[in-house]
Amino acid sequence: MGLDELIQELESVRERISKFRQDLEGSEALTRYALVDPVLRALGWDVFDQEKVRPEFPTEQGRPDYALLWEGKPLIMVEVKSLHANLVQAKDKGFNYCWKNKVRYFAITDGERWEVYDMEKMGGEVIAIANLSENLGHAARQLLALWRPAMPELRPAPLSPLEPVQKPAEQPAASAAQEELIGLADLLKLFKSGEIKPGAKPPRQICFPDNQKKSIQYWREILLVTVAWAENRLKEKLPLGTLVAEIPEGMRAPRKVGSVYVETNLSAKDCVRSATRVLREIGVNPNEVKVELSAQS
């Protein structure tokens, strides 16, 4: 399956989410059948082939929803929750499955959001995060980390599954003149001082404290990806006025991010200010989240 076909499958899954949201939110089994199984099949994991996929895999700690097998042994444990369920507790349980059973990789999903971890790294290192409510091209590229023909190593995927998976060539270190990493609070100061002018190009990338990185094309994406990253911890703080809430009432240009809505009718400066507010609400120093500025910004 090529990247275009994978995107088409993800589009079908997203349509099911929209059409059957209420049923999916109340049923883990339906979420597995309607949302998760199609994605696994599209990535080469035939859920009906027990040499590749073992549902309800038995361990002393419990039964993960799926074990994805490689050479007869679990390579990836997958835990599924119903649509829009809180993934935090399930993530801890899944980490425990992997550590106790010496399984290298772990994935968790509610059918819309997917997170993939390397469990050999301290605390579990993020390999990929995909959210089907956002850009499907980006989600597909992230999910290609689970593409079965590329096993047994999981890594950020190539742009197309038709391309060979290989170690990227080493790039020369960027010079200080080419790029600069700056915390969000310090970035806001540049707006206030006038060093960043209206119409300036947005940062190229945003980097979170857990090493998640997201490419940026528009200033509003700084706020959107920050909310996506903070979503689980942010929910108990909602609503944040008409900036972030579980319903879009009062918003002029709401954008759905996971299970919440975000106001996007904001200036570049206000997008950065709002992102710093979100981080402070969940107890994260905004300067621990950094953006990559280029000399052209």
Which residue ranges make up each domain of the chain? 3-150, 179-294
Question: What percentage of the chain's residues is helix, strand, coil (to nearest 5)?
Answer: 35, 20, 40
Per-residue pLDDT of the chain (297 residues; tens, 9 = 90+): 567 788 889 999 999 999 999 999 989 999 999 999 999 999 999 999 999 999 988 887 778 889 999 999 999 999 999 998 888 777 877 888 888 888 999 999 999 999 998 888 766 778 888 889 888 888 888 899 999 988 888 875 443 343 333 333 343 443 333 346 899 999 999 999 888 887 888 998 999 988 888 888 889 999 999 999 999 889 889 999 999 999 999 999 999 998 899 999 999 999 999 999 999 999 999 999 999 886 544
| Beta-carbon contacts of residue 148 (< 8 Å; ≥ 6 apart) | 43, 44, 45, 52, 68
Q: What is the rounded (10 degree) CA torsion for 190, 192, 198, 203?
A: 30
CATH topology of domain 3-150: tt1808, chain A (3.90.1570)
Task: Quote the distance between the C-alpha of residue 111 and its chain's center.
Answer: 12
